[in-house]
Structure 1
Amino acid sequence: MTRSVERRIADILEAIERCRRYVALLDAGAVDFVDMAEDAIERNLQIIGEAANHLTPEVIDAHPEIAWPQIRGFRNILVHQYFGVDLDVIRDVVENHLPPLAEALRQQVEGGPASEV
């Protein structure tokens, strides 16, 4: 089943929103909540990387400020080197790197600069 670029962008935006919500649980204190939140964030980061891997060159080229290769690479690290994932890195990605990605993709969807969806 092939997903449209619009659907992949929506997948990324939904996963970003979930990561944003779940990161607050990392400070919950309860070990089970922290473990579940970490698992959920990692899964959604994998979705972001996989969906980003299938965006068109037009979308990618319209947003050179986004580190697309690193997004795809981080997905590979989460999947293949899961044992070396640092929670502080995950928190940094969610808090500092996902907001600019979300903004760029929202502009893309809303027909902002260089919209070629």
Structure 2
Amino acid sequence: MSRDTDQRISDVLHAIDRCTRYVGALDDGDADLVEMAEDAIERNLQIIGEAANHLPADTTDEHPEIAWPQIRGFRNILVHQYFGVDVDVVRDVVETYLPPLAGALRIHAVTE
């Protein structure tokens, strides 16, 4: 089943919300909870990258401030080079790069 642009934007926004909620668990003292949070965040970052990969050019072109190639590339790293993923990099992505992405896509969703 194919997903339209609005559905893909919704997928990204939901995955960003999950990442944002889960990132706090990375500081928990429970090693199992930390591991689950890492797995959940990485999975949602994969969803973001995959959905972004299928957004039409007119959508991504409206937001040149977003590093679209890096979003797609990070998804590939998470999937294909999973053994080299650094949790500090993942945290930085969630805390630094996902808020502007969410803002851009929320604006896009409102104007559509």
Give the counterpart letter for 1:38 in structure 2. E
Give the counterpart letter for 2:16 in structure 1. I
Give the superposition deviation at 1:76: 0.1
Give the superposition deviation at 1:51: 0.1
Counterpart of 1:29 in structure 2 is 29
More helix by share: 2
Amino-acid identity (%): 70
Cα distance between partner residues in 1 of 2:29 and 2:101: 29
Cα distance between partner residues in 2 of 1:109 and 1:34: 33
Give the superposition deviation at 1:5: 0.3
3-state SS of paired residue (1:110):
helix
- Map 1:1-117 to 2 at 5 A: 1-111=1-111
Pairs aligned (count): 112
Give the superposition deviation at 1:71: 0.1
Give the counterpart letter for 1:62 in structure 2. E
Cα distance between partner residues in 1 of 2:29 and 2:65: 36
Provide, for residues 69-113 of structure 1, a one-character-per-residue CA deviation record: whole Å limited to 9, x for no partner: 0000000000000000000000000000000000000000000xx
Provide, for residues 17-39 of structure 1, a one-character-per-residue CA deviation record: whole Å limited to 9, x for no partner: 00000000000110000000000
Cα distance between partner residues in 2 of 1:22 and 1:97: 15
TM-score normalised by length of structure 2 = 0.99
Deviant stretches of 4+, over 3 Å: none
3-state SS of paired residue (2:88):
helix
Give the superposition deviation at 1:11: 0.1
Cα distance between partner residues in 1 of 2:34 and 2:46: 18
Unaligned runs of 5+ in 2: none
3-state SS of paired residue (2:2):
coil
